[in-house]
Amino acid sequence: MYARRRRGYFLLMGGCLVLFISAWAFVRLWSVPAAVAMCVVAMVIPPVAAMVGNRHGPDDRWWDDPSGDGKSDEWWDELDGKNKRQ
């Protein structure tokens, strides 16, 4: 799942760079409004790419799931207040 998220993130960010660079490298020579529109689209892509890169799938381990290491899980539970010492 991590590889799929990373690939999606880099594809979106690569598309963002292609839009931005091509807008001001050669599209502006034919149409400045089209170049501005391309930059507006490129401006929206990075937040979407961040959401794609950070989303968790159903098989991903969530931050509070047990890791399998008993000592580490006990330590984190104590920090989170789940295990009260008596």
Span 55-78, pLDDT tens digits: 877 666 666 666 778 787 787 778
- pLDDT at residue 29 in the model: 95
29: tokens are 């020579």
pTM above 0.75, yes or no: no
- Residue 63, pLDDT score: 64
Which residue pairs from 58-63 have beta carbons closer than 8 angstroms and sit at least 24 positions apart in sequence?
59/1, 60/1
pLDDT, residue 79, reads 77
Angle between helical axes of 32-54 and 2-22 (0-180°, round to 10): 170
Token pair recorded at residue 48: 């979407």
- Closest of 47, 26, 44 to residue 35, by C-alpha: 26
